Amino acid sequence: MLFTDAVARAIAAGTVTTVYRRWRVARVSPGTTIHSSAGVIRVDAVEEIEPDELTEESARAAGEGSLARLRASFHGSATDPLFRIQVSYAGADPRDDLSRDTDLGQGDRENLSSALDRLDTRADSPWTRTVLRHIAAHEGRRAADIAAQVDEPDLARMKRRIRSLKNLGLTHSLTVGYRISPRGRAFLDTEGTVE
């Protein structure tokens, strides 16, 4: 489940407490946490509703100015069920603090190296350090550009791979593209692999 930057910020501020999605089946459940540009968002409740249950108050809770604007914001097939999803701000994204931590002791370096090795082992060929080096050398490149540079034909897989590096605190997402985090730079420096 994705949120625009504006919606994520509104959820963090508490001005949006409900979002609506048209899905064939519910894609989230209560307790799910979602990393967003504004921090971690928690799903508090999910229920399938009929479109005629929507009110002007529903629109306000979703950050829309009117019921008509709320209805116009729905994506997906009109035949798909409509889900009301109650959301709340769960706090800052812990990956942000992690990504700023450049004090890498030997244990930290070994743990990161082992984590990257595991990601490489699960793939058809090693990719982690190549992608990290590429992001370090080319700040702001989009996943599609990175995929083309490292000969990865599957864009969705490249995005998942970059997300796994972000989960380790090694990269940051920009409005467009990615950059190496201070932690990622420190790790590459210890490996002697910065371009």
Cβ proximity of 54 and 67 under 8 Å: yes
As a dihedral over the C-alpha atoms of residue 178, residue 180, residue 184, residue 185, rounded to 10 degrees, the angle is 170
Nearest to 63 by CA among 53, 73, 52, 51: 73
Q: Residues 95-122, buried b or exposed e (16+ Cβ, 10 A)?
A: beeebeeeebeeebeeebeebbeebeee
Strand partners, 34: 41
pLDDT at position 192: 67
123: enclosing H helix or E strand = none
CATH 1.10.10.10 domain residues, the chain: 95-191
Strand partners, 3: none
Structure tokens at 185: 């730079």
The rounded distance, in Å, linking the Cα atoms of 144 and 17 is 33
DSSP state for residue 51 in the 8-state scheme: G
Q: pLDDT digit of tens for each residue in the chain (195 aa)? A: 678 888 999 999 999 999 999 999 999 999 999 988 889 999 999 999 999 999 999 999 999 999 999 999 998 888 999 999 999 999 988 888 888 888 898 999 999 999 999 999 999 899 999 999 999 999 999 999 999 999 999 999 999 999 999 999 999 888 889 999 999 999 999 886 444
pLDDT at position 91: 92
CATH 2.30.130.30 domain residues, the chain: 5-92
Looking at domain 95-191, its CATH architecture is: Orthogonal Bundle (1.10)
34: enclosing H helix or E strand = strand 33-36
The rounded distance, in Å, linking the Cα atoms of 69 and 91 is 29
What kind of fold does domain 5-92 have according to CATH?
A: 2.30.130
